[in-house]
Chain A
């Protein structure tokens, strides 16, 4: 399995993702330019990553322009053919904008950009400390969609307290049902607001991000 990281002109977590995957996690990584379109050397065992940042400046709506980029057309086809796609932060926003994932990411309920460590938990319930850094990370979908996602097990990560407790105090942006990360019904497209690539190195005193990549089945 290898990773392809899409570089949009305003991506700024692309190099962090590259470092985390190749240096910290020992994976094969290739950088992909947004103006290119060729994904023929990737198979459905591989994973395309849409990193964080401000893809095209995001002055309109986060990810609204990126979905029209040449590379995204190939990524959409790649996903439809069963290839794995992970979007982190701005990448998650792009996946929602392009319809690969349900729902949308709205401005944080406190109206401010927010960067800090938060705790999230996946299926095993173990709280993981992962950084967030976003102004528009409040996940939203309508009730019917949410119920369907829940019954399909598409809600992969929710915000929680240090001890795994839930509640508004631990939800950093007002996301509906404390949602931090989701996948599509086919379970090959993943999106999350927290940055696991910022928590994979011992130098930074936090390696909880490794567990995130593991839970997504990517390593």
Chain B
């Protein structure tokens, strides 16, 4: 077969990249080699259009046990000889085409990133975005994605403990499915994704290889259209039972001490795992592809290299200890084949029945090695002019009476209403360590069994804010995640991020990307939460345009003792309700303005990073002093929604009144950042107030907790159970179940 520019372009390589490959090899690549470059230099594997900006993020911290991006997931010290491993990853394009398998394999892939490092996953989270929920297509996607996540996670046996779901027209064709996993590892038992030791055998373990998912990495690196369904073979098929066995077998084989290095086979399968492990260890590999277990006959070398069949691992084992490894995988009835060995020439050589099919220096394939890195041009998007023109005076303030009706609408908006139709389809309690079930808090708090510690975890991003102001929106995503952890009694530790954007070759998209990353970096420095790793997903775009810029933040925090936990709901009638943080005349980007009034280009909400940090620090200290009985941050829907949400869990009501001289809509419905609604006993109120004053943090008494009646600004709003019914059933009614 003659290799030309056209071949390269069909494989989604550019003309320049094709020339670069020839230069690096000093010859024309053959088709198999070109396929290897196509997978490895795809946006998905190479981060070629993002890495320069990612390097501006803070990636150091005293708790970090591996460098950001060095391993499959971030690893941070939580004391007592334990580490937390966590990462978030996207599976957007597969889920757009085949929602069930797309979402399922997204969950499977992120779990492997955790246990390939020797950690046992203890919790999963996800961040989902769809189009208008009224649309039949959205309903089909939502049902499929939720079923897929449940199918995989429930069987695999890791609880899904938290998540976020947003609905907006911009995600109609290109939904976002981001999955995060958190695991625990004993220090000294971690495994690196590094190949070392010339002559050491290379093992392939797990499921057999088929033709599914071939080209998945490059598929994820192109715009999506209604015709993308024709690329169905690029979607992988998951088998959670195999993955469960693979998890147990991998953790067991690590215990033997015979494992030198291990990496899961995710995007770009065998080529990616062999290249990355070899490049990191500065070694090469000799691989006999015919030894790879397959489930289809006559697979070609390039298919074997690129297949993204699930539930597979590549493992380098200490020579002479092969039998120990074979025994463990036999116990779990999993394939385990010695497919090659480590060499000292830094070359990847792939053979098929003795014929050399491809020979490539490992270094040239990988990020940080020969893979290209680009600086893209950017310019402020045109729509920003509309946002700059918008101001609050274009909206008429409302009366006290009107607030009640708006609040009723707000709690039934799909972005705000209870997501129980979704999360009840996930096993949230397996592991018997999720404290959310009986004591909900803003972030999920998961007990680390065998210790008194717990981990708090959350995923957050309000992409509408990022659209309105990419830099501020990026900062807010980080600030909100940290706020959720603080409201749960945790100290924020670190961040993993999933950056979902449109086509990076579009300068307006690249503006959103570069500014959002800048904002995130600024906020991560301020909150002392380094970025431990993550994933970039570009090309979330269809012929109508890109999705909202969506840099999803996954953040993990630590509670030294489970008794430190702070939960979000009203605890006791008579408790004082306080608002901590500044109230301002702002309604920009709120659910009210955007989804009820229909202003699609309003300004991002008020946000001051210094004030935000002060508020969070104050709440942390007050919690340590045991002054608070609950805390819940003000986010979508504004203050009134925050308050109503606090009534639902125990059915306790409230009597509250506006305390500041502001527009009524801004006060009750605005989404200004840096605010937390807390409760305390009457005895503790004065101490709390003085503490806030000393810390320079605004605090105001809004009212008190009641038995079950809701009263706002002197008006009786009915009883909690009626409001809760509206909140609980809104999405169920829309989904017809």
User: Which chain A residues have a beta carbon within 8 Å of chain B's beta carbons?
Assistant: 9-10, 12-13, 15-16, 19-20, 35, 52-54, 56-59, 110, 112-117, 131, 133, 135, 195, 197-198, 200-201, 203-206
Contact = CB atoms under 8 A, between A and B. Distances in A.
B648 interface: no
B429 A10 contact: no
B156 to A, nearest CB: 7
Given A16-B431, A19-B432, A205-B435, A113 B449 contact: no
9 contacts: A52-B430, A57-B239, A58-B241, A113-B427, A114-B424, A115-B424, A133-B154, A200-B432, A205-B438
Given A9-B245, A113-B150, A113-B154, A204 B432 contact: yes
Contact of A16 (B156, B430, B439): B430
Interface string B193-217: 0000000000000000000000000
Given A16-B430, A59-B241, 10 more contacts: A12-B244, A54-B157, A57-B155, A113-B151, A115-B428, A135-B154, A198-B430, A203-B433, A204-B434, A204-B435
Interface string B156-176: 110000000000000000000
Nearest to B423: A115
Interface centre among B155, B332, B430 (most CB of A within 10 A): B430
B425 A133 contact: no
A200 B242 CA distance: 30
B447 interface: yes
In the A-B complex, the 6 residue pairs with the closest CB atoms: A12-B157, A57-B241, A205-B438, A16-B432, A54-B155, A133-B427
B9 interface: no
Contact of B425 (A53, A56, A115, A206): A115
Contact of A9 (B333, B435, B437): B333
Interface string B448-492: 010000000000000000000000000000000000000000000
A35 B245 CA distance: 14
Nearest to B454: A203
A9 B332 contact: yes
B430 A204 contact: no
A200 B432 CA distance: 9
A54 B244 CA distance: 10
Contacts of B333: 9
B154 A9 contact: no
A16 B430 CA distance: 8
Contacts of B434: 204
Nearest to A24: B432
Contacts of B150: 113
A19 B449 contact: yes
B562 interface: yes
A203 B425 contact: no
A80 B685 CA distance: 64
A137 to B, nearest CB: 13
A10 B244 contact: yes
Contact of A203 (B154, B241, B429, B447): B447
Contacts of B426: 113, 115
A10 B246 CA distance: 11
A131 B429 contact: yes
A59 B432 CA distance: 25
B572 to A, nearest CB: 16
Interface of B: 150-151, 154-157, 239-242, 244-245, 248, 331-333, 420, 424-435, 437-439, 447, 449, 562, 737
A22 to B, nearest CB: 12
Contacts of A16: 430-432
A133 B432 contact: no
Nearest to A129: B438
B503 to A, nearest CB: 37
Contacts of B433: 203-204
Contacts of B428: 115
Contacts of A57: 155, 239-242
Interface centre among A19, A20, A115, A117 (most CB of B within 10 A): A115
B435 A203 contact: yes
A117 B240 CA distance: 25
B437 A204 contact: yes
A197 B429 CA distance: 11
A197 B432 contact: yes
A204 B154 contact: no
Contacts of A133: 154, 427, 429-430
Nearest to A55: B241
Contacts of A52: 430
Contacts of A53: 155, 157
A117 B437 contact: yes
A116 B737 CA distance: 16
A35 B154 CA distance: 24
B430 A12 contact: yes
Nearest to B332: A9
Contacts of B154: 54, 113, 115, 133, 135
A113 B435 contact: no
Contacts of B449: 19
Given A113-B154, A115-B427, A206 B438 contact: yes
Nearest to B439: A205
A59 B426 CA distance: 18
Contacts of A116: 420, 424
A9 B241 contact: yes
A20 B239 CA distance: 29
Contacts of B435: 203-205
A10 B425 contact: no
A58 B432 CA distance: 22
Contacts of A195: 429
Contacts of B437: 117, 131, 204-206
Contacts of B562: 203
Nearest to A209: B432
A201 to B, nearest CB: 7
Nearest to A59: B241
B156 A12 contact: yes
B138 to A, nearest CB: 18
B241 A10 contact: yes
A19 B242 CA distance: 25
Nearest to B158: A12
Interface centre among B151, B420, B427 (most CB of A within 10 A): B427
A8 B426 CA distance: 22
B320 to A, nearest CB: 27
Given A9-B333, A117-B437, A205-B438, A112 B737 contact: yes
Contacts of B438: 117, 204-206
Contacts of A58: 155, 241
B425 A112 contact: yes
B432 A201 contact: yes
A215 B727 CA distance: 37
A116 B436 CA distance: 11
B425 A198 contact: no
Contacts of A20: 432
A9 B434 CA distance: 23
Given A9-B332, A110-B737, A204-B437, A54 B241 contact: yes
A53 B430 CA distance: 9
A190 to B, nearest CB: 20
Given A54-B155, A204-B438, A205-B439, A10 B430 contact: no
A131 B429 CA distance: 8
